[in-house]
Chain A
Amino acid sequence: MKALSPARSIKDVRLAADRVSFRVEPRTILVCLILILVTAGLVLVSLSVGDYPVPFPEVIKSLQGEGSRLAELFVVQRRLPRALVAVVAGIAFGVSGAIFQRLTHNPLGSPDVIGFGYGASVGAILVILFYGGGALLTATGAFVGGLLAAIAVYLLAYRSGVNGLRLVLVGIGVSAILIAIINYLVSRADLRDARAATVWIVGSLFERRWDDVQLVGFGLLLLIPITVILSRYLPMLELGDDAAAALGVPLERARLGLVVVAVGLTAIATASTGPIGFVALAGPQLARRLTRSPGAGLTAAGLMGALLLVASDLIARRAVAPSELPVGVVTAGVGGIYLGWLLLVHSRRVR
């Protein structure tokens, strides 16, 4: 939003006798490295703390398969898969949010805003209310619901092309319908179902196991290469449709492809964690402020998403111990406060 740092430096990297060349921003790389280090540190902490605390040396031993049985049970079977789901889902939310925000030219253009999260919630709640839940069934319901909502928003916003503002407005419209349905279902359900549904709406990493890691990890491995290929269109699309077309970008195909990839990323993450709020919205924003790069690199956004989700889950597990909060409560809280603080600092600097 604000003027970029004048000190921003960009380096051209040319390899293999100029056949491969790309530009890197040293600051972005530094930020990414720091994000990885901090996230790794937080993962270690989250493996260590809990109702059964495991000291760091024991954590390392357990990871190498040399810890005591109990320590291995907690570290490798309980806490590690949970932390990994948080990392992978966080990356997916962050990248997806960055794609949406750049496509819609709108910092609010996150998958939540275009109705995906609410669609997933309606799907999951219907499964919970009518089929009594069950993890895989609920995830399937969420997946289908979210996908249907996203397709509906895209088709409704399509009118010889998809314009950013129109997409967001249609998304708000569809979201309003879905929220109404959610509120109606929750108000008419019996209290226990209402509670289960609410936990799901907020998003939780409670009891995530290695199957979940496999599911979300496989999905990410599948989508990341496609994301990398399509992401080269993003800077050109940002120049405006005419300029992009002049540069030879197949406008609608590029945009549709990017939307599909972004929706896919959110769908996979949502199916495994619930529609955790704010990571997709705040991750790219925070990353962009740290890298001071105009279009947040998708890498930095993804890493920031992972950091946010891992940190939030740590807080969710420990804040009201021995009971635990759904992680979505914390992501929204932490992300919201941090973004608010950034805004405050930012607006002071402007004056």
Chain B
Amino acid sequence: MTNTLPRRIAGLLLCLALLALAVLLSLAVGARAIPFATVVDALWHSDGSPEAVIVTTQRVPRTVLGLLIGMALGLAGAVMQALTRNPLADPGLLGVNSGAAAAVVSAISFFGITTASGYVWFAFAGAAAATVVVYLLGGGGKGPGGPVRLALAGTSIGAVLVAYTYGVQMLDAKALDQFRFWIVGGLSGRDQSVLLDVLPFLVVGIVIALLLSRPLNALSLGEDTGRALGVNLAGTRLASAATVTLLCGAATAAAGPFAFIGLAVPHAARALIGADLRWVLPYAMLLAPVLLLGADVVGRVVISPSELEAGIVTALIGAPVLIALVRRRQVVPL
């Protein structure tokens, strides 16, 4: 497959267009469908009409949340897969989601916390702690069998945390009752202050992730080649782990666990433009929010007037896409 520069740029523009479409749909579609013209009007100058109020107070924050979380998860997945050289790497697999979940269930059960903005710091700390432990335990993907060891470490830590989470739920019915609504993962009903809380982490994480594309690219040629090309191995690994923690932790804290985006989107990006991370990262960053916002919009429509959480829809949409990709071609090796 020959990919010329213009084609790659055209592809990137297409992704951007898709993203714009997803944003518009997210603003317009819902229990009350609002014409695009009204949406655009409301964005420039709210006239106080019910439509304008819905758009500015509900749909805009929700869309921004979906946009940022999508970007974060897409980038985190791509960086994680490149770092561990493991095509299966994903926030779910490396223990990040289960760390956040364990912390949230503790917050509910032991501290009686019931609001999303109350969960944020717990989820963040849990995700960060799990990532650090998995990374230390897995030896950071060093040595023979490194990536596999990291994935095994993630699975084992994840299992311990999931066990803890279930244990707490079993012994505390009230915790189960709250937690089951957090674990489905969705953009609705998350209050706006949550986004402001995690925004700095998301922005810093996104910037670092994009800066890592070159060194990670060199590393993908093998450690020795990477070193010969002047890459600081330890520094790159540390920065990658840090950015994955920032991105996944903040995203999960804000909206609950989305297990699938970080796994599927980088695969889709590689299938579209090959393994060069300088392109994979931007593609993943644009495609992931398309998937997330699209899922959110679909969830508002399918069982209207009730809603299906975006976390459920991303799995239902994303999984068949992943399977189709896996079947159609060789999985692009890392």
Binding site for B on A (CB under 8 A): 1-2, 106-108, 156-157, 159, 165-166, 168-170, 172-174, 176-177, 179-181, 183-184, 186-187, 191, 194-195, 198-199, 201-202, 277-278, 281-282, 285, 320, 323, 325-326, 328-333, 335-337, 339-340, 343-344, 346-347, 350-351
Contact = CB atoms under 8 A, between A and B. Distances in A.
Given A107-B152, A176-B259, A329-B167, A2 B145 contact: yes
A346 to B, nearest CB: 8
Given A195-B176, A328-B163, A332-B162, A187 B184 contact: yes
A343 B163 contact: no
- Max chain A Cβ within 10 angstroms of own Cβ: one of B142, B163, B259, B311: B163
A329 B177 contact: no
A107 B153 CA distance: 11
B120 to A, nearest CB: 20
Contacts of A346: 149
B88 A176 contact: no
B139 A350 contact: yes
B152 A343 contact: yes
Contact of A329 (B149, B166, B264): B166
A165 B259 CA distance: 19
B163 A2 contact: no
Interface string B255-283: 00001100110000000000000000000
A184 B263 contact: no
Contact of A199 (B170, B313, B316, B331): B170
Given A108-B155, A183-B183, A183-B311, A170 B176 contact: no
Interface string B115-131: 00000000000000000
Contact of B327 (A108, A159, A183, A326): A159
A174 B326 CA distance: 12
Contacts of A156: 323, 327
Contact of A168 (B88, B176, B315): B88
A149 B260 CA distance: 18
Contacts of A326: 166, 170
Nearest to B162: A332
A281 B154 CA distance: 13
Contact of A179 (B139, B166, B259, B308): B259
B319 interface: yes
Contacts of B169: 198
A1 B144 contact: yes
B173 interface: yes
B159 A277 contact: yes
A195 B153 contact: no
Contacts of A106: 148
A238 to B, nearest CB: 16
A130 to B, nearest CB: 18
A350 B143 contact: yes
A328 B159 CA distance: 10
Contacts of B151: 108
Nearest to A285: B152
A177 B263 CA distance: 13
Contact of B180 (A170, A194, A336): A194
Contacts of B236: none
Given A184-B184, A191-B177, A202-B166, A108 B326 contact: no
A200 B259 CA distance: 22
Contact of B171 (A191, A320, A340, A347): A320
Nearest to B90: A172
B170 A176 contact: no
A172 B323 CA distance: 9
11 contacts: A173-B264, A180-B315, A184-B312, A187-B181, A187-B184, A195-B173, A201-B166, A277-B159, A282-B156, A336-B157, A336-B163
Contacts of B311: 180, 183
Contact of B331 (A169, A176, A278): A169
A332 B259 contact: no
B332 to A, nearest CB: 12
Contacts of B181: 187
B320 interface: yes
Nearest to B328: A159
B294 to A, nearest CB: 15
Nearest to A186: B180
B331 A166 contact: yes
A343 B326 contact: no
A106 B163 CA distance: 23
A176 B162 contact: no
Interface string B304-334: 0000110111011011101100110001000
B85 to A, nearest CB: 13
Contacts of A277: 159, 162-163
B152 A339 contact: yes
Contacts of A281: 155, 159
Given A173-B319, A174-B323, A202-B170, A332 B163 contact: yes
Q: Lowest 7 A-B CB distances belong to which pairs?
A: A332-B163, A180-B315, A1-B145, A336-B160, A336-B159, A347-B139, A173-B319
Contacts of A180: 184, 311-313, 315-316
A177 B145 contact: no
Given A329-B167, A350-B139, A350-B142, 13 more contacts: A108-B155, A166-B327, A169-B322, A180-B312, A183-B184, A187-B184, A191-B176, A198-B166, A285-B152, A328-B163, A332-B162, A350-B144, A351-B143
A106 B87 CA distance: 12
